Amino acid sequence: MKNSFSLLEIIITLIISSIVIIYSTLFTKELSLENRYNQELEIDKINFLATKVFIEKNKYNISNLQFSNGNLYFENNLLLKDVKEFNITKTSKQISVYINFKDKIIQTWEFSL
């Protein structure tokens, strides 16, 4: 009787520990995927904001910006990849830039001249 109870305890312990290990593994996998997605999103945000700063510093050379094949170029050098839409409106007092980046970040920037 004592041996059968000990065996039952071992079986229950194995079942519980297996469940804990399986769910811990699933949680770790989900956490890893979420972190990877967040990392890619933050890198995209950094690239996007760096482009904004670059355009702001070179606002007097805005005519050197070119948009082709989903990429944004400045003086034929790649500035930003995977741009879906890009439009520049220039007036005598300001420059307005509409940009759609990977359908994730859509903004309109306005720079005064």
Residue % of the chain over a pLDDT of 70:
99
Q: What is the pLDDT of residue 1?
A: 67
What is the dihedral sign for C-alpha 32, 38, 101, 81? negative
Q: What is the pLDDT of residue 74?
A: 93
**pLDDT tens for each residue of 3-56:** 788 888 999 999 999 999 999 999 999 999 999 999 999 999 999 999 999 999
Q: What is the pLDDT of residue 101?
A: 93
Bridge partners, residue 7, by sequence: none
How far is the C-alpha of 44 from the C-alpha of 46, rounded, in Å?
Answer: 5
How far is the C-alpha of 30 from the C-alpha of 109, rounded, in Å?
Answer: 36
N- to C-terminal Cα separation, the chain: 90
pTM to 2 decimal places: 0.74
Q: Which amino acid is at 16?
A: I
Q: Which amino acid is at 13?
A: T
Question: For residue 78, what is the enclosing H or E element?
Answer: strand 77-80
Average pLDDT for 75-97 = 92
